[in-house]
């Protein structure tokens, strides 16, 4: 029988501690700190994510029940008081955990780079979207959104190979989605898949000049003139493939180059879509398929809202909210790293469920998640959302 480390400690062994220490030093996270350090704070918050704790009191009670195991979890403190954790979340710079999450993302993306999308493309493919997290106006006045409520918005650029977020920006609810294109650093040769909310031809032209490709759904009032019509294989739903130029008062100046317009009819839903792209090389059907894969970012938002603690918060300040969200994202990415490194066949939902009940056990992590892998895959078929199955929705 394995009598070594706790499951929780085995998970945390995969953290790049050198990167964590650099993040802490960069923002002087442990200045004047004597007992409850940044690593203690991270471990406790990660524990809360993995065990679905709903409050500071719930975290405190659960850890107190396992007080003799805190040292083996990697915690320097012999006890964790909710007041201590609350103050750490309020005052420790959230950028420590944002930068650390980015370090984990840089590790995770190459591990998932071989994920198949079913498309004959070697380019990196991103889906860009935003999701709003509603908050109470009286409790979170700093995140004022509308007259009766507050909100924060999670802007995410999702790498569709592995569903790893490569870019995340947390703003108040008022920031319009399209403004994120001003912050984004375009990657030459990559595809950016976006919905109509990101139609801003001046910003899209910036992507084009950077050597990036985009696929976006056109607005119904887009003014254009057709230059050429290209042969289209209509057996898959493509109705037309055209080269166009914009003729609007401002759009003709904002985007002076030709665009490609593809009209696509989805037989199952009966809906017709008009797509715009600056890529003239890939087949028209591939362009339609690329937009269909944008649905993965919607699934990502639904998944993290259901299975991570980012809808109810342990603190009310902006710093506490951002700290909790970034640590939640880092835990998601850490489990995605474990899935690849240890070659787990089960999906993320199943892995999270198993870990939530076994963190204090002394079982080899690989054995825990692999010995009954076939059973876990059967259970996983009944989950509501999966980020690692082939996309079938529209």
Domains detected in the chain: 7-97+299-380 (no CATH), 196-286 (3.30.1370)
Counts for the chain of helices (H) and strands (E), in that order: 15, 10
Task: Please report the pLDDT score of residue 345 as a whole number.
Answer: 85
Task: Please report the pLDDT score of residue 387 as a whole number.
Answer: 47
Among 274, 240, 273, 243, residue whose Cα is nearest residue 257: 243
Q: How many CB atoms within 10 Å of residue 362?
A: 16
Close Cβ partners of 312 (under 8 Å, ≥ 6 residues apart): 54, 55
Q: What's the rounded Cα separation, in Å, for the pair 379 and 148?
A: 42
The pTM assigned to this predicted structure is: 0.89
Task: Please report the pLDDT score of residue 382 as a whole number.
Answer: 45
Among 125, 113, 114, 112, residue whose Cα is nearest residue 287: 125
Q: Six-digit token pair at 224?
A: 């254009």
The ranges of the chain with pLDDT < 70 are 1-3, 371-394
Write down the H helix ranges in 272-347: 284-292, 295-307, 318-341
| Contact call for residues 205 and 257 (beta carbons, < 8 A) | yes
């Amino acid at each position: 029988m394995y009598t070594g480390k706790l499951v929780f400690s085995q998970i945390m062994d995969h953290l790049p501690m050198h990167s964590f220490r650099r993040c802490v030093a960069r923002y002087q996270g442990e200045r004047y700190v004597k007992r409850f350090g940044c690593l203690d704070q991270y471990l406790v918050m990660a524990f809360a994510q993995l065990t679905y704790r709903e409050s500071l009191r719930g975290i405190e009670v659960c850890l107190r029940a396992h007080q003799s195991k805190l040292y083996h979890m990697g915690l320097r403190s012999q006890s964790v008081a909710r007041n201590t954790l609350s103050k750490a979340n309020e005052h420790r710079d959230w950028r420590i955990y944002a930068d650390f999450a980015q370090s984990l993302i840089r590790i995770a993306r190459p591990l998932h780079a071989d994920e198949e999308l079913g498309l004959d493309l070697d380019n990196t493919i991103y889906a860009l979207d935003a999701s709003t997290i509603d908050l109470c106006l009286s409790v979170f006045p700093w995140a004022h959104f509308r007259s009766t409520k507050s909100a924060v918005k999670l802007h995410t650029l999702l790498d569709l190979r592995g569903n790893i977020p490569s870019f995340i920006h947390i703003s108040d609810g008022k920031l319009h989605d399209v403004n994120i294109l001003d912050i984004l650093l375009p990657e030459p040769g990559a595809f950016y898949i976006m919905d109509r909310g990101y139609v801003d031809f001046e910003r899209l032209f910036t992507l084009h000049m950077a050597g990036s490709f985009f696929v976006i759904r056109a607005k119904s009032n887009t003014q254009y003139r057709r230059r050429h019509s290209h042969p289209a294989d209509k057996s898959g739903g493509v109705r037309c493939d055209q080269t166009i130029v914009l003729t609007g008062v401002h759009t003709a100046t904002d985007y002076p180059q030709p665009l490609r317009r593809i009209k696509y009819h989805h037989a199952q839903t009966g809906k017709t879509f008009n797509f715009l792209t600056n890529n003239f090389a890939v087949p028209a059907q591939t362009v339609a398929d690329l937009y269909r894969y944008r649905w993965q970012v919607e699934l990502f938002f639904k998944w993290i809202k259901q299975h991570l603690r980012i809808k109810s918060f342990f603190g009310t300040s902006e710093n506490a909210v951002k700290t909790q969200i970034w640590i939640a994202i880092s835990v998601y990415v850490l489990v995605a790293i474990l899935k690849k490194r240890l070659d787990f066949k089960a999906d993320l939902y199943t892995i999270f469920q198993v870990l939530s009940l076994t963190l204090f056990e002394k079982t080899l992590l690989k054995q825990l998640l692999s010995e009954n892998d076939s059973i876990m895959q059967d259970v996983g078929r009944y989950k509501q959302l999966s980020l690692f199955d082939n996309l079938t929705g529209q």
